[in-house]
Amino acid sequence: MKNGRAKISVIGAGNVGASAAFRIAQLELADVALIDIVEEIPEGKALDLAQMCPITGSDVNLVGSTNYEDTADSDVVIITSGIPRKPGMSRDDLISTNTKVVKSVTEQVVSNSPDAILILVTNPLDAMVYVAHRVSGLSDNKVMGMAGVLDSARFRAFIAMELGVSVENINASVLGGHGDTMVPLLSNTTIAGVPIAQLVPADRLEAMVDRTRKGGAEIVALLKTGSAFYAPAVAAVEMAEAIIKDKKKVLPCCVYADGHYGIEDTFVGLPVRLGAEGVEEIIGVEISDEEMEALHVSAGKVKELCEVIDGMGIL
Ligand SMILES: NC(=O)c1ccc[n+]([C@@H]2O[C@H](COP(=O)([O-])OP(=O)(O)OC[C@H]3O[C@@H](n4cnc5c(N)ncnc54)[C@H](O)[C@@H]3O)[C@@H](O)[C@H]2O)c1
């Protein structure tokens, strides 16, 4: 880390990106460069956020720009640029457009901040982490994706709503790819330390798992013009904060699996320890045979998508 304040660049000044910049400023976590391909929008949003800071008491610099020189020497870069889903679309439908966007953005980010740690948000998430990893040439610990933190938060919110208890009492984690094959871990879910199976009947549990898997689509169907952004933005910033503050926080993140959980050469959501070095360790937790099987199915789907990208000849 450099002397002085940390710096986070947020690429894409749309719904997720601007909300992430808002959260970073609110937490007084780091200086922010907010970048977009569209002129003036990032400048306008950064100015608005700078005018928020006297009220929130946040001493951070905010720059909005279309120029990647403004991202120079970032500690962390959150990549949200690309198109979101519309009703009826799957995340995988975004693949061709967003592969090109993430490739070009990653090249420009890395040439200005060769030591930065990258957090991908753009969908289809796991495949975009693969793209950024390949294009950047960065080591495995420095390129990761945000999905598990969001999917786990959705699962925790649904459980809290169902049981009428505090969200703070719910400990739950979702592994696997960020799609319909994600794996909410029922075996490790607890409410104030009590295993969830003791408190919720199996059919209700199954309904919550299903709602979690479709949590993104539920919001897309309601919003109609885009996808969720408040929870995704806060989730990405939780990861950035763990890195900037070297918190050693254990969070589910999309990372490179190289034999971990028996998964070879694939990017997929696994529990990791996040600190100043990025992904400092992939944590092996005990999961049921059924969950392990589902995790392998999910990793297989990511692998198929990455093969589609390879076949496009873009990288
Ligand atoms: N991983 C997750 O859990 C998760 C959650 C929510 C959204 N997402 C994804 O995040 C992405 C952004 O979602 P959003 O709601 O903010 O969309 P948005 O349309 O509001 O914002 C995207 C921004 O990216 C910009 N952009 C496009 N091409 C660019 C380029 N080449 N360089 C720089 N900027 C560029 C656009 O101008 C726009 O401002 C989508 O792909 C969405 O599917 C992922």
Output the residue whose Cα is nearest ligand 1's atom 10.
Answer: 122
Rounded to the nearest angstrom, the gap between the alpha carbon of residue 278 and the centroid of all alpha carbons in its chain is: 14
Spatial distance between the Cα atoms of 135 and 2, rounded to a whole number of angstroms: 25
Q: What pLDDT is recorded for position 153?
A: 98
Residue predicted with more confidence, 93 or 137: 137
Kindly list the protein residues whose Cβ atom lies closer than 6 A to any atom of ligand 1: 11-17, 36-38, 80-85, 94, 98, 101, 104-105, 121-123, 125, 146-147, 150, 178, 226-229, 232
Q: Are strands 278-282 and 266-275 parallel, antiparallel or unpaired?
A: antiparallel
Q: How many CB atoms lie within 10 A of CB 223?
A: 16
What is the band of 142 on the pLDDT scale with cuts at 50, 70, 90? Answer: very high
**Dihedral angle over CA of 251, 254, 257, 262, nearest 10:** 70
pLDDT-above-70 percentage for the chain: 99
**How buried is residue 81: exposed, middle or buried, by Cβ count under 10 Å (0-12/13-18/19+)?**
buried
Confidence check: pLDDT of 4 > 90: no
- Of the candidates 1, 38, 32, 45, the one whose C-alpha atom is nearest the C-alpha of residue 236 is 32
- For 179-236, the pLDDT digits (tens) are 999 999 998 999 999 999 999 999 999 999 999 999 999 999 999 999 999 999 999 9
Q: What pLDDT is recorded for position 1?
A: 47
Across the chain, what does the average pLDDT equal?
A: 96
Radius of gyration of the chain (CA): 19
pLDDT-above-90 percentage for the chain: 95
Instruction: Assess contact for 279 and 144: CB atoms under 8 A.
Output: yes
Residue in 9, 11, 15, 16 to alter for ligand 1 test, most ligand atoms within 8 A of Cβ? 16
Q: What pLDDT is recorded for position 88?
A: 87
Residues 6+ apart with CB under 8 A from 223: none
Q: What pLDDT is recorded for position 2?
A: 53
The string over 270-303, giving b where at least 16 C-beta atoms fall within 10 Å of a residue's C-beta and e elsewhere, is: bbbbbbeebbbebeeeebeeebbebbbebbebbb
- For 16-36, the pLDDT digits (tens) are 999 999 999 999 999 999 999
- 174: three-class secondary structure by DSSP: strand
Cα angle value 239/293/300 (rounded, 5°): 70
| Ligand 1 center–CA 304 separation, angstroms | 23
Query: What is the arithmetic mean of pLDDT over 65-89?
Result: 95
Q: What pLDDT is recorded for position 3?
A: 55
Q: What pLDDT is recorded for position 89?
A: 85
Spatial distance between the Cα atoms of 239 and 252, rounded to a whole number of angstroms: 10
How is the beta sheet containing 249-257 ordered, strand by strand?
A: 62-65, 31-35, 7-11, 76-79, 117-120, 143-145, 249-257, 266-275, 278-282
Work out which ligand 1 atom sits closest to the CA atom of 150: 3
DSSP state of 78: E
Confidence check: pLDDT of 82 > 90: yes
Query: What is the arithmetic mean of pLDDT over 60-79?
Result: 98
- For 117-134, the pLDDT digits (tens) are 999 999 999 999 999 999
Q: What phi, psi does 273 have (nearest 5°)?
A: -100, 120
